[in-house]
Chains A and B, each alone.
Chain A
Amino acid sequence: MISSSTFHVISTELVVGSFAMSGLCFLLYALCRYDLIKNKNLISITDNVAHFALMFGIIATPFAIFSGISASPGSGFSTPILVNKMFLSMTGLGLGLAALISRWKMCDSILTERKPMLIQTFSGMGASGLMLLTASAGGSFARGESLLDIFSLPYDMVILMPIAISAILLMLGLATTASALWKLLGRSTV
């Protein structure tokens, strides 16, 4: 048996690696689609790699989050950095999962039309960016320094909404997600 902190390191390595690969592929895909890189084979390759890496990262993310909470000293949220890590990783997870479900249920159609393709690449790259930001916050917490320190990110500031507002947002999110999934799962893909 390994300790929570070791398991957290392993799972975060997997998450960060997968999301970094996914984000890079989403970027290359967008560049190919706008003919900034003229390589037709790359479109198909980056599409596949981006979404499979995203899927792997999403599977590893809950393990990283729960082992991180378990490994932190005292209560799970003893510093503002840990609270911000939770917010960033959960938002990134939402973006990533949305990108993956869209690609799975809408197939190629979201990549052939301009606006859905832009939203898809934004979601994928956004998820990667947020996960890398989470990893940077983890570095600041564990070692007191991170590569992104040059941006002086306000990790010590927590924007915590009142529970009532969060609950409304949660209900709204649940309703929107349920409605979207109902339409996606119920409609013909012929």
Chain B
Amino acid sequence: MFRRIRILFVITILLSLSSFTQANPGGVGDGVFDMQCGGACHGDSSLNQTSSASISVQVEGSPYLDQPISISAVISGAQLSYSGDLGIFLLTDITGHSDTPADAQWDILSDSNGGTNNYVEGKLLTGQDNFSTSWTIKPTTLTTTTFYISIHHGGDDIPYFGISQGLEIEVLPIPDNLARLSSDFTPQTTRPLGEATTVSIETEDVSSVKVEWKVEGSSINTIIANYSSEGVWEFIAPASNQPSSIQWRAILEGEGPSQTTPWFTLVAQEPPFEVDETAVYIQSFALFIFVLGFILSIQLKFSKSKTEEKQWEQTEEVLQDSPPTTPPLPDGQLPPGWTMEQWQWYGHEYLEELKEGVQ
């Protein structure tokens, strides 16, 4: 019994090790991570090999203080098609720690997946040879920062890692009367399916706003934003009946120099499914153990009558433990060389041989 428990214990330990120490080829989900994902993306960063994928980085917009700019990246290479899954980081350092944009005093206003993360995951579809992504960020202090794009992907049973050349951006003070977005403007990044969306733009020193929007792969549409209240302008993004994203940018005009904002991404998606994982695990084990206990109990109950009858049946044990009947001694004494114990167990064989010999 204890041997079986030990085997079960070893199997359980092996199972746990197999699931907790490997890489995550399915990804870890978008998030704010440092360069090595805190060790979460690829289980052991020392196992990473250098990716042969090429990474091109581009900045759009003027890097004024508190004004958004866009950083876009295009990743391409044959190695990506092994698994198709790709994790992409926007980093401000390559030391492996304190390297997120927030560490360098930059806020992420949106990423291409509709979140505000520096790490996003994507999938290279069949037939595609490159993958594009972008972030809209804004500086909160006058500083000079070098940005890097880093990638994680799998292939050929090996985790791969790559990093782009640095791209230095110097933040400039805002010129007088610059038509600009409000410093506390945060673009809407997601919206529900099937509903037209009113998007608000908060501005300063702006007298008119023109909005350009596009769906990936189609032409640019232009509309005039409506004045809503002091410094706030609005436009309506058309409804989307299936998960998709549109990109939009505003052309701001006022008394000072006019400005074009970077492209912002607005993702239409189903509300994400969220569940308390602890509750799921507890309920799963509860179902397992309850069903097990219930079936065993009713089996015991219904097979009880028969087993109780058998419980006191010890005939076999009694037969095993009883000494055999002692055969009668020939001429009232033991044959020469025999002990009483030997006679008790083998005496009947001696008598049978004696009887056969006489016949």
A interface vs B, CB < 8 Å?
1-5, 62-63, 66-67, 69-80, 83, 86-87, 90-91, 93-95, 97-99, 101-102, 106, 109-110, 113, 115-116, 119-120, 123, 158, 160-163, 166-167, 169-170, 172-181, 183-185, 187-190
Contact = CB atoms under 8 A, between A and B. Distances in A.
Contacts of A94: 287-292, 295
Interface in B1-24: 1, 11, 15-16, 18-19, 22, 24
Contact of A77 (B277, B298, B317): B277
8 contacts: A66-B16, A66-B19, A91-B288, A106-B303, A109-B307, A110-B299, A172-B290, A184-B296
A174 B282 contact: no
A119 B299 contact: yes
Interface stretch (B25-33, B103-111, B177-185, B210-218): B25-33
A102 B304 CA distance: 13
Contact of A163 (B18, B24, B282): B282
A190 B310 CA distance: 6
A46 B297 CA distance: 25
Contacts of A2: 157
Contacts of B311: 187-188, 190
Interface of B: 1, 11, 15-16, 18-19, 22, 24-29, 83, 121, 154, 157, 273, 275-280, 282-300, 302-303, 306-307, 310-311, 313-314, 316-317
A14 B262 CA distance: 53
Given A98-B292, A170-B286, A75 B29 contact: yes
Contacts of A79: 273
B70 to A, nearest CB: 25
A183 B304 CA distance: 11
B297 A70 contact: no
A169 B295 contact: no
A4 B25 CA distance: 7
B1 A185 contact: yes
A169 B306 contact: no
A77 B280 contact: yes
Contact of A83 (B19, B83, B280, B295): B280
Given A66-B18, A70-B19, A188-B310, A173 B292 contact: yes
A74 B27 contact: yes
Given A2-B157, A176-B294, A188-B310, 17 more contacts: A3-B83, A5-B25, A63-B15, A74-B26, A76-B277, A78-B29, A87-B287, A90-B285, A90-B287, A91-B288, A109-B307, A119-B299, A160-B283, A166-B283, A169-B286, A170-B282, A174-B289
B283 A87 contact: yes
A87 B290 CA distance: 12
Nearest to A85: B284
A74 B19 contact: no
Contacts of A63: 15, 18
Nearest to A130: B291
Contact of B299 (A62, A106, A188, A190): A106
B307 A187 contact: yes
A161 B283 contact: yes
B62 to A, nearest CB: 36
Given A102-B295, A110-B303, A80 B273 contact: yes
A95 B295 contact: yes
A79 B288 CA distance: 21
A169 B27 CA distance: 34
Contacts of B18: 63, 66-67
Contacts of A1: 22, 157
B290 A176 contact: yes
